[in-house]
C-alpha cells in the first residue's frame, strides 16, 4: 500500500498533533517577525536565528505545560529535536521540496529515537521535518510536514493552519454590479433638526 | 486658593506627549528645568501663573485646559496599530496622547452636533472562514451588496460613524491606526498615501473595529486577520473568483483591469487570489517578483487613474459650524481646552477665527458655559 500521509508512516503522526506543532512554529516565527526591527540593525540573519529560537521556545514551552502529553524533547539544545509520540522531528525554514544538506543531516539522538519509533518496521532511513515556508517579510506562508529519504522529499503534507487554509465557496452567476453609490456623511446642529439632512453635503 | 493648586499635572504630560516633546525639550522652551516640569507633572509642585501662561502658549492649549482632567485616556488595548512590538514607547505615548485629546474634542462635537450614528457590527473571527463571513456580513449590514466594488471606502467608515483624521509628524513606523472609542477614530500618519493603499488601510482598520474590540492587537496574528478582512471586504470571494483570470501564467492585463474596477492594488489582488486558492504559491511568488522587478514595489501602473478618497466628516462638521457665521468651533475647542496650536496639531487645520473677533454679535451659543 502506498503511503500518502504522515499517519501512514507512523500512527503517532496524527493530523491533530501535527497541526498543533505547526501552530506553535508559526507563532514562534511570528513572534520573531513582530520584533524584527531594521532600525536597530536587525537583518535576515537575525530574523532567522530569532525565528528558529522562538519556534524552539514555543515547542519547549508546550512540552513543559503538560497539555501536550504526546510531545517530548529529545535534544533541547540549538540542534533541537523533539518527538511526536515516538517519532523524532526537527524543523527548518525553507522549501519542502528542496531540502538542503544541513536539513538532511541526522544526529545520533535522532537516529537513536528513530530506532525506537520504528522498532518493528522498516523505516529505511526516513527523517521527518517541519518545513516552514515564508513570505518576503519573513511571515509564515505554509508549513509542511515532510519525510526525507536519501536527501529526497518523499512525503509532503501541508499543515492546515487557521488563516492559511483555503476556504471552499460556491461560484454564482455573473452579475454586472458597479457597486453601491454612497452618500457623504451627514452632519447637522442638534439645535436645529431641520438643518441635519443636507449640512454635510 | 493659590495659583496652580487645581493644576492637573497629567494634563501637562498629555499635551507634552501629544507634541512629542521630552521634558528637556519642553523645559528649554519654557525656560525651566526637566526636574521642575517632572515635579509639576507628578503633582509634587505647583506652577506659577506665569509658568501656566507660558506652558499654554507653547503647547497651544488654554490656561483652563490645565484644570480639566482627561476623563478616559485612550488605553493601549483600544489603539490598533501595526508593528506595535517594535514601536518605540515614545511614539506609542505620542499617539495615545493625541488620540486622547482628539477624542475629547470629538466627544464635545458629538454633544453639539448630529453626527452619523456609530454602527460597526461586532464579530469575533479567528479562522479564514470566520473572517470571510464577518466581511460579508458587514457588506450586507451596510447595504453594499456582495457583487460589486466598494465605490468609496472612506464614506463606508464615515457613514458608520468613524472619524478619519491625520496626525502629522508622527513616526513613519505608524502608517495607519484606529482607536476603539465611543466614536471610533481612524488615523493616518501619511499625508497623501496612494488611493489603493488608503482604501486598503481603511478596510484594514475597519476589520480591527469589527473583530478586535477590547483585544490587544499589533501582533502578526491580529494584523493578519485584519488584512484578510480588508481583502475579503474589498474583494468578496464569489465575485472576485468569477472575475479573476484562470490562466497558466498570470494575466497582468486582466489583473490591472480588476484593479481599476475594484480599486485595489495588483499586489493585493494576487494575494487575494492566492488566499482563495485561485493561484499557486509559485505563481504568487512570481507575481510579487514581477511587481518588484518592474518598479512597482511602491507605485503601481494605474495608481494615477484612481482618485484618492478624502475624509469628509470632519470637513462637514467644520463647514456646518462655520456656516452659522459664528464662533462656535472655537468655542467648542476652547471648551475642552484646545487653543490654536493644539487644535491644528490634532485636526490638521487652523481654528477659523482669531481670538479677538468674538464679539461680532451673531454668535450662536451651543453651551451655557464658556
**Residues B99, B74 contacting (CB under 8 angstroms):** yes
Between CA B16 and CA B20 the distance in angstroms is: 6
CB contact under 8 A, A199 and B323: yes
More confident residue, B51 or A137: B51
**Residues B12, B46 contacting (CB under 8 angstroms):** no
CB contact under 8 A, B113 and A183: no
**Residues B195, B309 contacting (CB under 8 angstroms):** yes
Q: B218 in contact with A at a CB cutoff of 8 Å?
A: yes
Per-residue pLDDT at B326: 63
User: Residues A67-77: pLDDT tens digits?
Assistant: 999 999 999 99
CB contact under 8 A, B312 and A184: yes
Which of B306, B228, B262 lies closest to B144, judged by CA?
A: B262
Cα separation of the two ends of chain A: 71
Q: B112 in contact with A at a CB cutoff of 8 Å?
A: yes
Per-residue pLDDT at B367: 41
Interface predicted TM-score of the whole assembly (ipTM), two decimals:
0.79
**Chains A–B, number of C-beta pairs less than 8 Å apart:** 140
Cell numbers 468651533 correspond to B329
CB contact under 8 A, A170 and B238: yes
B345 vs A68, B9, B26, B101, B163, CA distance in Å? 52, 21, 16, 10, 16
**Residues A55, A76 contacting (CB under 8 angstroms):** no
Which of B131, B122, B82, B138 lies closest to B276, judged by CA?
A: B131
* B323: chain A residues, CB-CB within 8 Å: 199
**Residues A89, A73 contacting (CB under 8 angstroms):** no
Beta strands in A111-199 (DSSP E): 127-134, 140-149, 152-158, 188-189
Which residue of A39, A187, A198 to mutate against B (max B Cβ within 10 Å)? Answer: A187
Between CA B297 and CA B287 the distance in angstroms is: 11
* B241: chain A residues, CB-CB within 8 Å: 169, 171
For the CA atoms of A116, A119, A124, A125, what is the dihedral angle to 10 degrees?
A: 10
* B116: chain A residues, CB-CB within 8 Å: 185-187
More confident residue, A155 or B88: A155
User: Residues A159-173: pLDDT tens digits?
Assistant: 988 666 666 676 666
DSSP of B180-228: -SSS-EEEE-SSS--HHHHHHHHHHHHHHHHH-TT----SHHHHHHHHH
User: Residues A91-130: pLDDT tens digits?
Assistant: 999 999 989 999 999 999 999 999 888 876 666 778 999 9
Of A27, A34, A188, the CB nearest to B85: A34
Between CA A51 and CA A39 the distance in angstroms is: 18
Between CA B356 and CA B359 the distance in angstroms is: 8
Per-residue pLDDT at A161: 81
Residues 6+ apart with CB under 8 A from B19: B26, B59, B94, B345
Which of B115, B77, B135 lies closest to B315, judged by CA?
A: B115
Per-residue pLDDT at A119: 74
CB contact under 8 A, B241 and A169: yes
Q: Is the pLDDT of residue A198 over 80?
A: no
CB contact under 8 A, B114 and A193: yes
Nearest CA in chain A to B276: A166
CB atoms within 10 A of CB B294: 11
The C-alpha of A84 sits at a distance from chain B's nearest C-alpha, in angstroms, of: 25
For CA atoms A82, A87, A88, A90, give the dihedral sign.
Answer: negative
* B320: chain A residues, CB-CB within 8 Å: 187-189, 195, 199-200
The C-alpha of A188 sits at a distance from chain B's nearest C-alpha, in angstroms, of: 5
- Residue-by-residue pLDDT tens, chain B, 370 positions: 445 568 899 999 999 999 999 999 999 999 999 999 999 999 999 999 999 999 999 999 999 999 887 678 888 778 887 766 777 888 888 988 999 999 999 999 999 899 999 999 999 888 889 999 999 999 999 999 998 999 999 999 999 999 998 888 777 777 788 888 889 999 987 766 789 999 999 999 999 999 998 888 878 888 889 999 999 999 999 999 989 988 888 999 999 999 999 999 999 999 999 999 899 888 888 999 999 999 988 889 989 999 999 999 999 999 888 877 668 888 899 999 999 999 999 998 888 755 455 444 444 444 433 3
Between CA B215 and CA B124 the distance in angstroms is: 10
Please, which residues bridge with residue A131 across strands?
Answer: A92, A144
3-state secondary structure of A144: strand
3-state secondary structure of A154: strand
Nearest CA in chain B to A172: B238
Amino acid at each position: 500500500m502506498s503511503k500518502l500521509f504522515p499517519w501512514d508512516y507512523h500512527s503517532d503522526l496524527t493530523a491533530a498533533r501535527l497541526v498543533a506543532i505547526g501552530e506553535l512554529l508559526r507563532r514562534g516565527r511570528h513572534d520573531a517577525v513582530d520584533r524584527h526591527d531594521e532600525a536597530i540593525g536587525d537583518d535576515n540573519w537575525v530574523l532567522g536565528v530569532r525565528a528558529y529560537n522562538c519556534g524552539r521556545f514555543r515547542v519547549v514551552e508546550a512540552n513543559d505545560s503538560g497539555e501536550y502529553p504526546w510531545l517530548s524533547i529529545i535534544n533541547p539544545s540549538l540542534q533541537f529535536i523533539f518527538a511526536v509520540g515516538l517519532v523524532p522531528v526537527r524543523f527548518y525554514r525553507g522549501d519542502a521540496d528542496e531540502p538542503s544538506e544541513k536539513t538532511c543531516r541526522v544526529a545520533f539522538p535522532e537516529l537513536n529515537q528513530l530506532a525506537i519509533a520504528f522498532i518493528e518496521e522498516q523505516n529505511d532511513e526516513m527523517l521527518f521535518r517541519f518545513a516552514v515556508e515564508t513570505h518576503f517579510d519573513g511571515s509564515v506562508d505554509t508549513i509542511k510536514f515532510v519525510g526525507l529519504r536519501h536527501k529526497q522529499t518523499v512525503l509532503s503534507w501541508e499543515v492546515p493552519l487557521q488563516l492559511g487554509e483555503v476556504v471552499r465557496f460556491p461560484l454564482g452567476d455573473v452579475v454586472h454590479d458597479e457597486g453601491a453609490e454612497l452618500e457623504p456623511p451627514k452632519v447637522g446642529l442638534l439645535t436645529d433638526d431641520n438643518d441635519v439632512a443636507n449640512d454635510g453635503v | 486658593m493659590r495659583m496652580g493648586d487645581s493644576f492637573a499635572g497629567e494634563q501637562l504630560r498629555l499635551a507634552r506627549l501629544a507634541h512629542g516633546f521630552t521634558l528637556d525639550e519642553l523645559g528649554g522652551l519654557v525656560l525651566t528645568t526637566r526636574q521642575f516640569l517632572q515635579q509639576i507633572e507628578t503633582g509634587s509642585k505647583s506652577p506659577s501663573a506665569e509658568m501656566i501662561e507660558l506652558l499654554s502658549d507653547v503647547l497651544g492649549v488654554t490656561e483652563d485646559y490645565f484644570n480639566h482632567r482627561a476623563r478616559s485616556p485612550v488605553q493601549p488595548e483600544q489603539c490598533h496599530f501595526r508593528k506595535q512590538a517594535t514601536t518605540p514607547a515614545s511614539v506609542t505615548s505620542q499617539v495615545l496622547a493625541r488620540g486622547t485629546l482628539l477624542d475629547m474634542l470629538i466627544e464635545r462635537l458629538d454633544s453639539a452636533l448630529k453626527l452619523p450614528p456609530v454602527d460597526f457590527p461586532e464579530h469575533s473571527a479567528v479562522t479564514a472562514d470566520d473572517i470571510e463571513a464577518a466581511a460579508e456580513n458587514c457588506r450586507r449590514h451596510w447595504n453594499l451588496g456582495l457583487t460589486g466594488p466598494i465605490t468609496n471606502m472612506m464614506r463606508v467608515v464615515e457613514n458608520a460613524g468613524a472619524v478619519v483624521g491625520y496626525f502629522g509628524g508622527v513616526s513613519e513606523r505608524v502608517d495607519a491606526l484606529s482607536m476603539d472609542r465611543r466614536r471610533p477614530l481612524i488615523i493616518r500618519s501619511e499625508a497623501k498615501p496612494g488611493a489603493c493603499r488608503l482604501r486598503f488601510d481603511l478596510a484594514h482598520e475597519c476589520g480591527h473595529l469589527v473583530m478586535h474590540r477590547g483585544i490587544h492587537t499589533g501582533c502578526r496574528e491580529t494584523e493578519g486577520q485584519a488584512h484578510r478582512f480588508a481583502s475579503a471586504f474589498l474583494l468578496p470571494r464569489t465575485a472576485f473568483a468569477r472575475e479573476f483570470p484562470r490562466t497558466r501564467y498570470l494575466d497582468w492585463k486582466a489583473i490591472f483591469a480588476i484593479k481599476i474596477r475594484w480599486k485595489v492594488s495588483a499586489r493585493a489582488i494576487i494575494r487575494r487570489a492566492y488566499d482563495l486558492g485561485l493561484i499557486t504559491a509559485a505563481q504568487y511568488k512570481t507575481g510579487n517578483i514581477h511587481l518588484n522587478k518592474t518598479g512597482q514595489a511602491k507605485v503601481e501602473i494605474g495608481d494615477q487613474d484612481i482618485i484618492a478618497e478624502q475624509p469628509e466628516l470632519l470637513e462637514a462638521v467644520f463647514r456646518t459650524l462655520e456656516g452659522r457665521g459664528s464662533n462656535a468651533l472655537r468655542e467648542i475647542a476652547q471648551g475642552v481646552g484646545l487653543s490654536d496650536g493644539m487644535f491644528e496639531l490634532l485636526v490638521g487645520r487652523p481654528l477659523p477665527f482669531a481670538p479677538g473677533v468674538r464679539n461680532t454679535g451673531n454668535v450662536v451659543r451651543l453651551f451655557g458655559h464658556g
